[in-house]
Amino acid sequence: MDLVLLFVQGLNGLQFGVMLFLMAAGMTLVFGVMDLLNLAHGSLYMLGAYLAATLQVHTGSFPIALALAVPATVLIGMALEATLLCRLYDRDHLDHATMTFALILFFNELVRIIWGPQARFMGLPDQLSGHVEILPGVTYPVYRLLIIGVGLLVAGFLYWLIMRTRLGMLIRAGASNREMVNALGVNIKLLYTLLFGLGAALAGLAGMMAGPILSIEAGMGEPILILTLVVIVIGGIGSVRGAFLASLLVGVADTFGRVLLPPALASMVIYILMAAVLFWRPQGLFPSHG
Amino acid sequence: MDKPLLQVRNLCKSFGAMAVSAGIQLSVMPAEAHAIIGPNGAGKTTLLAQIAGELRPDSGSIVFAGKDITRMAVHKRSRLGISRSFQITSIFNRLTALDNVSLAVQARTGHSFRFWQRARTIPTLREPAMAMLERFGLADRAEDVADSLSYGEQRQLELAMTLATEPKLLILDEPTAGMGVEESAHMVSMLRSLKGKQTLLLVEHDMDAVFALADRITVLVYGQVMATGGPDEIRSNPRVRDAYLGCEETSGVVHAA
Amino acid sequence: MADLRLLDARGCALLLLLSVLAAVPLYGDPFTTRFFTRIMIYAILALSLDLILGYGGMASLGHAAFLGIGAYTVGILARYGIQSAIIAWPLAMAASMLVALFIGVVSLRTSGTYFIMITLAFAQMLYYFFVSLKGFGGSDGMPLPVRNTLGGIMDLGRHATFYYVVLLTMLAALGLSHRIVHSRFGMVIGGIRENEQRMRSLGIATFRYKLTCFVIAAALAGLAGALIANQILYVSPALLHWTRSGEILIMVVLGGMRSLVGPMLGAMALLIAEEVLSSMTEHWMILLGPLMIVVVLSGRTGIYGLLTKGSRSHG
């Protein structure tokens, strides 16, 4: 495989990884701090995509659609947490799994009812639908570069948020010792709702960005949910840094696997990777708990 | 001189920058009742956890009955004869008292890869379990779900379970924690009846219980052993008094057994 | 005394149910017979999940993988001319057990929550694996020309015959499971579910018991897979889709976890509801989610719990 192909595939892997990171960061934060296993995270991703597509149709503007879709997803997410998911906090993870699985069923059917069963597609505005020359003789889709850019920006933002702000300090503290944060008199309910909103924002953003490159349909959230779970297991629950590194690892491994290996093996690469990590380090590569 | 049943040498354990165990030396002789006392945060429970196997020490060694168990898994240590009760009662809350103790008996009688016979009808499991419950005065609660037992009864149940495994070394983490005066006295007399027959290693805050039970006492402060000796020695040790025991009044009064 | 009388009531109800089931092929039309065959196969599948979920406390969200593996074993063997159930069905179970062994070794040493995620992930992997098997139909799957033969004497192609074979298998599965959960092994599994730390400090090597439970459940699910392949005469990756794992989970939770009979009731309820509601509206699924949420939040023990309310005995 020549160097150019390597580079392009590397970018593809990076793009995929960055999308996974958006999902994984939200999920691992919610799980690490709130101890909530939210399988409906993929549904938030799906809603982000559907909302962006619909808004684009109604406003005719791609940027406006993007700007509104994420806040809308955040609102839905926070409402969900405040009304339903908050009842799960003193229950075991099986109840979380069962209940959020029920939400998956509900949301999948809901989008079918509202938007119909056919897959939808989002168009890209002209400025974003072209290719750009990144190296002499090598072009790459503009939109995918945008995704990489946005993803890295968000990663940087999360780093700043978690390492440099008071909220971030609470998040880090909560991820390693929940009871302590509670005991410090912090308004846990509000913190949790905001945190869930952050997770929803990240998922919605990922879904929204995926809209133009994937088909938007009911059930689109679950394949990426499962990949997100793989990333979290590899990276370690509660660790955003672990999620970042693991997403890139999974993104690149999957992309190169598909290029280099026969289809049967290619689809198994990341799961074998997960199995290997589990065997050697059951808590993941960068667990935030002891 | 007897060989110690349990020998802990130079045990070190740190959590990040904090040294919770800083070179602990401890030996427990067979049939001895050995108490570990010390202020909160001294690392007593962490020490017990390392002896029982739930935590791995960073360095040092733990030798039990001549075997090095420093890196041995919890269940293997239990099979060697170490049984323990926890600071926060650890039983099977949703099972009956009898089922709780039967499980303990079952855990000690061979393997459990037996899929056909109804376990609740096996006399070699039920009878010793029932006998143990009777010994603890819990026989009339046998068919009651463990959750419905009072706190003190649950702690008794836990002790019954640990004894049902016929341990060589019984580790007790604050057996009288959370108990009122009467329940404490009952527990202490229960433990006194084991003296000489069982080897006991217990962590306790209740000084009356400690001085009523212990043959030897180890004082732990900030992860280090400050002193080890008989009750009188410890009671009269000025450094121990300063660090932990405070005034003379805490010692001396022994409840009726 | 009250317990004995209750046992009679529950026993009678069960007997009644089984008599009804036994009578279906005699009085029902072929469609009904096939429908109830399907229900019983799913009852076996749900029962197998209850063994690890309800009794073992291990939340597996990828149980459909074993259904698929069992089914594909039968399908692939049929492709190569092996039609005998006596060979194919045990092999189906063995294949499931082997995969379960691998998955279990890798994932049972981690915490329960990781286990949920990992089982979901591995089931997805197996789904993609079977999709990639172009030689065996890929994502469309492949048909089976004819049902397996049972010892050369029974023609499972006749719906009634197959029905009774499935019924007997279900009864055997129920009976076996009943013995297992009340045996020494079952007691240990229950203890591990209730308090694994305590079990370890009592001297039990909990990992190998959990693994064994997981493998047994997979074997049963693999058998259900062999049966379903025969039932619909088709195998496809859809059998391993995560939605199917979710359906099985719903059957167990809805029917009543840790009751053996509950999963059977859950399978019945879900499949009958599906049949009835889907003819009324294509969006009947939207009710399923909220229903599950209500069941989970109310903490009730499903249909079985509802039926036996106020008569709870321990264990």
Spacing of C-alpha C113 from chain mean position: 21
**Amino acid identity for residue C187 in this structure:** M
Nearest CA in chain C to B161: C202
Structural domain including A79 reads 2-280
Helix (H) or strand (E) holding C24, with range, is helix C2-27
Q: Which of C50, C114, C283, C300 to mutate to test the interface with A (most CBs of A within 10 A)?
A: C114
Q: What is the rounded distance in angstroms from the CA atom of residue B96 to the CA atom of residue B148?
A: 9
Strand partners, B227: B219
What is the DSSP code (8-state) at residue C54? I
- CB neighbour class for B88 (10 Å; exposed up to 12, middle 13-18, buried from 19): exposed
The answer to the question of residue A286 being in a domain is: no
CB contact, 8 Å: C206 with chain B? yes
Question: Can you give the pLDDT at residue A108?
Answer: 93
Question: Can you give the pLDDT at residue C147?
Answer: 87
**A262: number of Cβ within 10 Å:** 9
**A285: number of Cβ within 10 Å:** 17
From chain C, which residues contact A within 8 Å (Cβ)? 53, 59, 61, 106-107, 109-110, 112-114, 116-118, 120-122, 124-125, 128-129, 131-134, 242-243, 246, 249-250, 253, 283, 285-286, 288-293, 296-297
Nearest CA in chain C to B86: C198
Question: Can you give the pLDDT at residue A170?
Answer: 78
Contact C191, C199 (CB under 8 A): yes
Tell me if C195 and B116 make a contact (CB, 8 A cut-off).
no
Question: Can you give the pLDDT at residue C152?
Answer: 65
Q: List, for residues A20-77, the tens digit of each pLDDT value.
A: 999 999 998 898 888 899 999 999 999 999 999 999 888 888 888 888 999 999 999 9
- CB neighbour class for C188 (10 Å; exposed up to 12, middle 13-18, buried from 19): buried
Q: How many residues does chain A have?
A: 290
List chain B residues with CB under 8 Å of C195: 90-93
Q: List, for residues C83-137, the tens digit of each pLDDT value.
A: 889 999 999 999 999 999 999 998 898 777 888 888 988 999 999 999 988 889 8
Task: Work out the angle at residue A120's Cα, subtended by the Cα atoms of residues A114 and A122, and round it to the nearest 5 degrees.
Answer: 120
Task: Work out the angle at residue B69's Cα, subtended by the Cα atoms of residues B65 and B74, and round it to the nearest 5 degrees.
Answer: 110
Spacing of C-alpha B189 from chain mean position: 15
The answer to the question of residue A190 being in a domain is: yes
Q: List, for residues B32-60, the tens digit of each pLDDT value.
A: 999 999 888 788 999 999 999 999 999 99
Q: List, for residues B190-204, the tens digit of each pLDDT value.
A: 899 988 888 999 999
Distance from CA of A136 to the nearest CA of C (A): 37
Q: What is the rounded distance in angstroms from the CA atom of residue C264 to the CA atom of residue C167?
A: 12
**Which of C121, C285, C296 minimises the CB distance to A95?**
C296
Q: How far is CA A216 from CA A49, A135, B234, in A?
A: 7, 32, 75
Q: Which tokens belong to B17? A: 């920058």
Give the E-state strand segments of chain C in sequence order.
142-143, 149-150, 154-155, 234-235
Contact C67, C221 (CB under 8 A): yes
Helix (H) or strand (E) holding A23, with range, is helix A3-34
- How many residue contacts between B and C have a Cβ separation below 8 Å? 103
Lowest-pLDDT range of A83-92, B213-222, C5-14, C271-280: C5-14
SS3 (DSSP) at B42: coil
pLDDT band at residue A246, thresholds of 50, 70 and 90? very high
Question: Can you give the pLDDT at residue B255?
Answer: 39
pLDDT band at residue B257, thresholds of 50, 70 and 90? very low
The answer to the question of residue A137 being in a domain is: yes
B137-141 average pLDDT score: 91
Distance from CA of B146 to the nearest CA of C (A): 11
Tell me if A99 and C116 make a contact (CB, 8 A cut-off).
no
Q: What is the rounded distance in angstroms from the CA atom of residue A142 to the CA atom of residue A130?
A: 6
Structural domain count, chain A: 1
Distance from CA of A269 to the nearest CA of C (A): 9
**B59: number of Cβ within 10 Å:** 13
Strand partners, B204: none
DSSP letters, B48-79, are HHHHHTSS--SEEEEEETTEE-TT--HHHHHH
Question: Can you give the pLDDT at residue B142?
Answer: 92
Q: Residue B219: CB partners within 8 Å, gap ≥ 6?
A: B36, B37, B38, B225, B226, B227, B228, B234, B237, B240, B243, B244
Nearest CA in chain C to B76: C203
**A284 pLDDT exceeds 90?**
no
Q: List, for residues A142-181, the tens digit of each pLDDT value.
A: 888 889 999 999 999 998 888 888 878 877 776 666 677 7
Which segments of chain C have a pLDDT < 50? 1-2, 312-315
**B103 pLDDT exceeds 90?**
yes
Please state the pTM of the whole predicted model: 0.90
- CB neighbour class for C230 (10 Å; exposed up to 12, middle 13-18, buried from 19): buried
Tell me if A278 and C106 make a contact (CB, 8 A cut-off).
yes
**A131: number of Cβ within 10 Å:** 13
Distance from CA of B92 to the nearest CA of C (A): 6
**Which of A98, A222, A283 minimises the CB distance to C253?**
A98
Q: What is the rounded distance in angstroms from the CA atom of residue A127 to the CA atom of residue A139?
A: 15
SS3 (DSSP) at A113: helix
The answer to the question of residue A287 being in a domain is: no
Q: Looking at residue A118, which CATH number applies to its domain?
A: 1.10.3470
Lowest-pLDDT range of B31-45, B104-118, B159-173, C2-16: C2-16
pLDDT band at residue B249, thresholds of 50, 70 and 90? very low
SS3 (DSSP) at C143: strand
- Using CB atoms, list chains with 3+ pairs below 8 Å to chain C: A, B
Tell me if C121 and A94 make a contact (CB, 8 A cut-off).
no
Q: Kindly report the average pLDDT of chain A as a whole number.
A: 87
Tell me if C109 and A267 make a contact (CB, 8 A cut-off).
no
**Which of A109, A279, A283 minimises the CB distance to C286?**
A109
Tell me if B115 and C209 make a contact (CB, 8 A cut-off).
no
Residue A133 phi/psi, 5° resolution? -90, 110
